[in-house]
């Protein structure tokens, strides 16, 4: 597809500085720009590339003031990053979509499949399942009995959704993820043995949830493990049984949340965050990478870091002390020697 700078500016309600008739047919990083490419500049540390980029058009913030000569055509918008994301979404939606049901797919007779649904090779749809209109079920997907998939969902190759789960509208689940496997529930018995506790609940994903590749979300022991509307999970995340994740919370890769923890809405977790079980995380909490949370976070919009994690300002002050520990130890050792000498006198 090919668009002029004027067409793009009209779509984004932006202002053009340069040639409104120049055309673009692809996208590229600003540092890898070439003729016919559209790029964006949002992070100031990449500003030096805009003076040498070969991209035909670059999106910039309206607040951007160049410090040198610019050869490319600029489109000034309120937020260059968001505008670029909108264009990428438009391009993605313009791609041709697979349709129809492959002859090797297995659909149980009691399952209900909506209109304009794609079901790929070797997919399995269990008893009493419901697949919403416009959804895509890619090859080798397994959907267990009594599971509901909402409209316009994308279930990518190799996803496994166990029985009785509920997937909302416009959800995306990436390859290899497992939704609704048993929670980690075992009762200690005599002689160091454990008895499995049946996991009789389910998993509910509300609307507009996106699950990365190779994520596991355990079904509840009783009731539901719930991922609320708009949650975005990165790859390789583990969500334990009976966990609840609040609306529009985002989590980076390798985060793990133990059973029965309740996470508030609008939270942000860095990579490899670990959350203990049976605790509560307040709305708007921000946890730095590799943060270890052992107790409740009660105050909303708190920023914490470290393991065990604590409030970021205290952490930064403590870091100064950590760096000085070897010197402080030397001083303590020296003082102990002086004290011993004084005692002998």
Catalytically active residues are 241
- Which residue carries 């002050």 as its tokens? 317
Percent helix, strand and coil across the chain, each to the nearest 5: 20, 30, 50
Write the DSSP assignment of 134-190 as a string of letters. Answer: T-EE-TT-EE-TT-EE-TT-EE-TT-EE-TT-EE-TT-EE-TT-EEEEPP--EEE-G
As a whole number of angstroms, the distance between CA 279 and CA 294 comes to 8
Residue 86 class from Cβ within 10 Å (0-12 exposed, 13-18 middle, 19+ buried)? Answer: middle
- 3-class DSSP string for 81-127: HHHHHHHHHHHHHCCCCCCEECCCCEECCCCEECCCCEECCCCEECC
Closest CA to 290 of 251, 255, 238, 259: 255
How is residue 208 annotated by DSSP?
T
CA 135/CA 127 separation, integer angstroms: 18
């Amino acid at each position: 597809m090919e668009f002029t700078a004027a067409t793009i500016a009209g779509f984004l309600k932006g202002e053009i500085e340069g040639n409104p008739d120049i055309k673009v047919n692809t996208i590229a990083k600003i540092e890898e720009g070439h003729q016919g490419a559209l790029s964006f500049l949002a992070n100031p540390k990449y500003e030096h590339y805009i003076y040498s980029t070969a991209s035909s058009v670059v999106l910039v913030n309206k607040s951007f003031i160049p410090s040198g000569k610019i050869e490319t055509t600029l489109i000034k918008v309120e937020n260059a990053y968001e505008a670029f994301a909108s264009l990428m979404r438009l391009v993605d939606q313009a791609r041709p979509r697979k349709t129809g049901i492959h002859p090797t797919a297995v659909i149980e007779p009691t399952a209900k499949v909506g209109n304009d649904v794609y079901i790929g090779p070797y997919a399995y749809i269990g008893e009493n399942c419901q697949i919403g209109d416009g959804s895509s079920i890619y090859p080798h997907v397994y959907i267990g009995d009594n599971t509901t998939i909402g409209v316009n969902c994308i279930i990518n190759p190799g996803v496994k959704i166990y029985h009785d789960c509920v997937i909302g509208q416009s959800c995306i689940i990436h390859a290899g993820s497992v939704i609704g496997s048993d929670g980690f529930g075992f009762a200690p018995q005599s002689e160091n043995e454990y008895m499995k506790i049946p996991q009789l609940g389910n998993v509910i994903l509300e609307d507009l949830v996106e699950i990365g590749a190779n994520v596991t979300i355990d079904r509840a022991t009783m009731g539901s493990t719930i991922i609320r509307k708009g949650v975005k999970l990165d790859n390789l995340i583990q969500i334990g049984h009976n966990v609840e994740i609040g609306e529009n919370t985002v989590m980076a890769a390798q985060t793990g949340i133990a059973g029965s923890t309740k996470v508030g809405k609008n939270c942000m977790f860095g990579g490899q965050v670990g959350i203990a079980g049976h605790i509560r995380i307040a709305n708007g909490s921000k946890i730095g990478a590799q943060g270890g949370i052992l107790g409740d976070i009660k105050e909303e919009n708190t920023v914490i870091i470290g393991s065990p994690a604590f409030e970021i300002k205290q952490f930064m002050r403590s870091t100064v002390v950590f760096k000085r520990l070897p010197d402080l130890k030397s001083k303590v050792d020296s003082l102990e020697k002086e004290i011993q000498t004084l005692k002998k006198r």
